């Protein structure tokens, strides 16, 4: 059974640019969550999607957005990149909406903003 797949694994952008990250969940999983991981802040919750609807949202500015498609694949977008957006972005999927914590993580997309 394939795991959670994130693309691209590594990318470098410059300030002011935008970036789109992709996440393919485990087959059959309908919930996708996104987290930002940095050495100083640890894991910060960005948002969660379930059946194409945003169910929860963290405390990030509007430059961070996401969406989920009918096949449960998800994308997140960051516009007007800032140096502080450099981080590992982790996607996690889960089977059902109601099971908090049963998350399966991808390996992440490491974004460097220069």
Partner 1 sequence: GNSVTQMEGPVTLSEEAFLTINCTYTATGYPSLFWYVQYPGEGLQLLLKATKADDKGSNKGFEATYRKETTSFHLEKGSVQVSDSAVYFCALGRDTDKLIFGTGTRLQVFP
> Per CB under 8 A, does 82 bind partner 1?
no
What is the per-residue DSSP string for 72-83? S-EEEEE-S--G
Tell me which residue has tokens 């609807």. Answer: 53
Q: Work out which of 32, 49, 108, 113 binds partner 1, going by CB under 8 A.
A: 108
Give the integer Cα–Cα distance in Å for 17 and 86: 13
Which helix (H) or strand (E) segment is 65 a member of?
strand 64-68
Among 32, 76, 78, 103, binds partner 1 (CB under 8 A): 103
Regarding 33 and contact with partner 1 (CB under 8 A), the answer is: yes
For residue 84, report the phi and psi dihedrals to the nearest 5 degrees: -70, -5
Decide: is 43 part of the binding site for partner 1 (CB under 8 A).
yes
Summarize as ranges the residues that interact with partner 1 (CB under 8 A).
Answer: 4, 33, 35, 41-43, 45, 48, 55-56, 58, 90, 92, 97-98, 100-108
């Amino acid at each position: 059974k394939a795991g959670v797949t994130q693309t691209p694994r590594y990318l470098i952008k410059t300030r002011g640019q935008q970036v789109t990250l992709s996440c393919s969940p485990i087959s059959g999983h309908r919930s996708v969550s996104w987290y930002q991981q940095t050495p100083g802040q640890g894991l910060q919750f960005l948002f969660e999607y379930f059946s194409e609807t945003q169910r929860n949202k963290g405390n990030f500015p509007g430059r961070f957005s996401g969406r989920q498609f009918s096949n449960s694949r998800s994308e997140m977008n960051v516009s007007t990149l800032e140096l502080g957006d450099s981080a590992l972005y982790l996607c996690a999927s889960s089977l059902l909406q109601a099971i908090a914590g049963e998350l399966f993580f991808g390996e992440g997309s490491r974004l460097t903003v220069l």
